[in-house]
Structure 1
Amino acid sequence: MDTSLHMSAQPQTPLAMNAQKFALWLFLVSVVLLFGALTSAYIVKVSETGTLGISLPTIFLWNSALIVCSSVTAQLAYHFAKKDQLAKVKMMLVASAVLGIAFIYGQLLAWDDLMAMNINFVGNPAGSFIYVFTGVHVAHLVSAIVFLLIMLYAAFRFKVHSRKLDRMEMFVTYWHFLGGLWIYLYVFLNYYN
């Protein structure tokens, strides 16, 4: 006897996901692909030309510390949002913004250091890639700071709380992703230089 005829059909619930979160994850995948392509091109170009030996500015190390600290403050903002401690959320978001802006300023200082070492955007392929890596990362960080400012505005309007964390989760995910991406780039550039 065929048992499939006797089984009652259970309605299946469709797999659901927040559309904005899904779009964020698609965007993050595209950023991974972009930087994967850039790092692959860097490896190929450097192996062809043999232009290694660029000393990275020490400010990159300080910038790495800044980005890690900003991830900690962003995570704390999320933690305090889950507990409805709005004053602490605001304080941690402001701290993240200050650290993010300090990171960007540090990258500008690093570019000055590179130019002082006679490593310009044009001329040395490895140097060109360093400018591209850091420039594209800074552009993404600027977009994350805009997102952060939107979250800070929402916090001041009492729209960040434990019952409405989707946007805060998205912000923290994006912020951590950019922090991790910078650490990857820093380690990669140190290894290949």
Structure 2
Amino acid sequence: MTNPSFKEDNATSGVHPLKFSLWLIIISIIMMFAAFTSAYIVRREEGNWLEFDLPNVLLINTLVILLSSVTMQWAYNSARKNNIATLKTMLLLTVGLGVAFLVGQWNAWGDLVQHNVYFGGSESNPSGSFLYVLTGVHGFHLITGLIFVLMTVSSALKYKVHSKNMLRIYLCTLYWHFLGGLWLYLYIFLRINH
């Protein structure tokens, strides 16, 4: 029995081109962060590594992004049930939590600067630079995720997201959960290896 909400997916190859493209993007992001975290471990072992406490706001950000995954999943479930009002509300909450996460990252960078941890330049140390790169590149991808969520909000406002048209919300939810999982990995990695 086929799922009616994904009829457009079963055209010729069995995989919708947008799903395939998103999975390629996710795999490339995974490879990039695997390279970053591997380089982090290798460089740390070489010495000249500044030890400092991670900003406390990173824990708060972890809770914020996990909560945003809950609101995104709630939006997806609402679309499946044609509960459009809840769908819109949960998508907007996800956007708000995503923005709060980015503000938290900005505050974390401010905390690093207050503790003389810089990116690049003569006053910097590789440990600080790695932290800026890991959080900054993740933040960039979160901005792309927010754009994707806002596009889905726009579609939802035009009643183009519902139980018979789930592709957009499916892709958005998948990417958002991936970003949350990626942040959780980075946070645990930094806690263990910092």
Partner of 2:44: 46
Q: Superposed, which structure 2 residues align to 1:57-68 within 5 Å?
A: 57-68=55-66
* TM norm structure 1: 0.91
Partner of 2:112: 114
- Residue 37 of structure 1: CA displacement? 0.2
- Residue 53 of structure 1: CA displacement? 2.3
Partner of 1:166: 167
Q: Secondary structure at 1:60's aligned position in 2?
A: helix
Q: For residues 67 and 135 of structure 1, what CA distance do their matches in structure 2 show?
A: 15
Q: For residues 106 and 19 of structure 1, what CA distance do their matches in structure 2 show?
A: 35
Q: Secondary structure at 1:88's aligned position in 2?
A: helix
Q: For residues 82 and 50 of structure 1, what CA distance do their matches in structure 2 show?
A: 53
After superposition, give the CA deviation of every residue in 1:105-130 in whole Å (9 maximum; x if it has no partner): 00000000011111101221011000
Q: For residues 183 and 28 of structure 2, what CA distance do their matches in structure 1 show?
A: 16
Q: For residues 54 and 66 of structure 1, what CA distance do their matches in structure 2 show?
A: 23
Partner of 2:126: 125
After superposition, give the CA deviation of every residue in 1:116-174 in whole Å (9 maximum; x if it has no partner): 11110122101100000000000000000000000000000000000110111000000
Partner of 1:21: 19
Q: Which residue of the other structure, out of 94, 97, 101, is the alignment partner of 1:99?
A: 97
Q: For residues 42 and 69 of structure 2, what CA distance do their matches in structure 1 show?
A: 32
- 2:50 and 2:125 in contact (8 A); partners too: no
Residue 56, structure 1, aligned to residue 57, structure 2: no
Give the unaligned 5+ runs of structure 1. Answer: 1-12
- 2:64 and 2:100 in contact (8 A); partners too: yes
Identity between Structure 1 and Structure 2 (%) = 45
Q: Secondary structure at 2:161's aligned position in 1?
A: coil
Aligned-residue Cα RMSD (Å) equals 1.2
Q: For residues 45 and 29 of structure 1, what CA distance do their matches in structure 2 show?
A: 24
Q: For residues 50 and 71 of structure 1, what CA distance do their matches in structure 2 show?
A: 38
- Residue 14 of structure 1: CA displacement? 6.3
The total of aligned residue pairs comes to 181
Q: For residues 52 and 64 of structure 1, what CA distance do their matches in structure 2 show?
A: 24
Runs of 4+ that moved beyond 3 A? none
Partner of 1:3: none
Name whichever of 50-59 and 68-77 sits farther off: 50-59
Partner of 2:5: none
Partner of 2:143: 142
- Residue 175 of structure 1: CA displacement? 0.2
After superposition, give the CA deviation of every residue in 1:18-64 in whole Å (9 maximum; x if it has no partner): 00000000000000000000000000001112515221000000000
- Residue 15 of structure 1: CA displacement? 4.1
* TM norm structure 2: 0.91
- 1:52 and 1:192 in contact (8 A); partners too: no
For the pair shown, the structure with the greater C-alpha radius of gyration is 1
Give the unaligned 5+ runs of structure 2. Answer: 1-10
Which residue type is aligned with residue 161 of structure 2? V
